[in-house]
Amino acid sequence: MHASQRTILDTIGHTSLLALRSICPANGARILVKLESENPTGSMKDRMALAMIEAAEMDGRLAATGSVVEYTGGSTGVSLSLVCAVKGYPLHIVTSDAFAREKLDHMTILGAKLHIVPSDSGRMTEKLTRDMIEAARVIAAEIPGSFWTDQMNNRDQLAAYHTMAAEIWDQTNGRIDGFVQSVGTAASLRGTGEALRRYNDKIRIIAVEPAESSVLSGGETGAHKIDGIGAGYIVPLWQDDIAHSIEQVSTEEAIAMAKRLAREEGLFAGTSTGANVVAALRLADTLVPGATVVTVMCDTGMKYLSRK
């Protein structure tokens, strides 16, 4: 393929892995951050959106004349909007006023049609997640020839995260002792974790969830404000053997760390990334000096400017 024939979709993946310089564990362990903000829409979700659409194209679930439907808190919707814009599919997104305004605007600019489900005073709750899923199901049933990507149940996205694991393994030269990732659909933790374990089954895999809604840890469902994670119930792609342990991080801790990352490392990320780094520091403290923990900068903070 000539360089001139490439599309923006060819730039997805192959993101940098950066060591934190000032936000470091006391024991000399390293924390490396996968800069998924380098993807075209500024989010790791570009990987899974492309994987879901291409798998559906391959097996005929998505015809050339078809349209795409999804429910999303934002980043998946923005990524699907990018992929559908390039490939020419009409896209219907069910979302909510609970999510960052920037993400909703970004989807609209890329051509998606938005269906807004109202939230309980801007908070992420189990009821909101379930209401959005039901709305997407109804829209998909009403539009002939539509393909509902259904990210909570879609396993095609796991392959995208196997690729991310391969990148991490290469970039660390196989020197990785732990991997930390927050749980939304659980696809990124599951896909990356299972692939890393194939390389080395001693790697510690740590899940992160909001302390206010710690359902994976057996706690109560609750409301929180960490965008993109913590659906409020045990999501279908979650498996109990995915992670060695689950770290609970509060919205307050996640926001504080996101601010530190910007001011001390120059990394402007969202709250899920803040939660990841809090949990990565906790894991690093339990490992031997000189150990390497990898976590993910899920997206850019530019998606959350209106959140202050």
Residue 58 tokens read as 């391959």
Cα–Cα distance for residue pair 72/99, rounded to 1 Å: 9
**Exactly one of 45, 79, 214, 303 is catalytic; which is it?**
45
130 occurs within a structural domain:
yes
Q: Are residues 176 and 249 in the same domain?
A: yes
* 154 found inside a domain: no
Active-site residue 45, yes or no?
A: yes
Q: Is 127 a catalytic residue?
A: no
Q: What is the reported pLDDT for 2? A: 41
* Tokens at 172, concatenated: 């660390």
Task: Identify whether residues 255 and 280 lie together within a single domain.
Answer: yes
**Residues 245/207, Cβ–Cβ less than 8 Å:** yes
CATH number of the structural domain spanning residue 137: 3.40.50.1100
Total count of domains within the chain: 2
In a domain, 15, yes or no: yes
- pLDDT digits (tens), the chain, 308 positions: 445 559 999 999 999 999 999 999 999 999 999 999 999 999 999 999 999 999 999 999 999 999 999 999 779 999 999 999 999 999 999 999 988 888 899 999 999 999 999 998 888 888 998 999 999 999 999 999 999 999 999 999 999 999 999 999 999 999 999 999 999 999 999 999 999 999 999 999 999 999 999 999 999 999 998 888 998 899 999 999 999 999 999 999 999 999 999 999 999 999 999 999 999 999 999 999 999 999 999 999 998 888 76
In terms of Cα–Cα distance, which of 240, 265, 259, 253 is closest to 301? 259
Rounded Cα gap, residues 117 and 108, in angstroms: 16
Please indicate, yes or no, whether residues 189 and 288 belong to a single structural domain of this protein.
yes
The whole domain housing 243 covers 3-44+161-307
Tokens 């696809």 sit at which residue?
187
* pLDDT value of position 10: 97
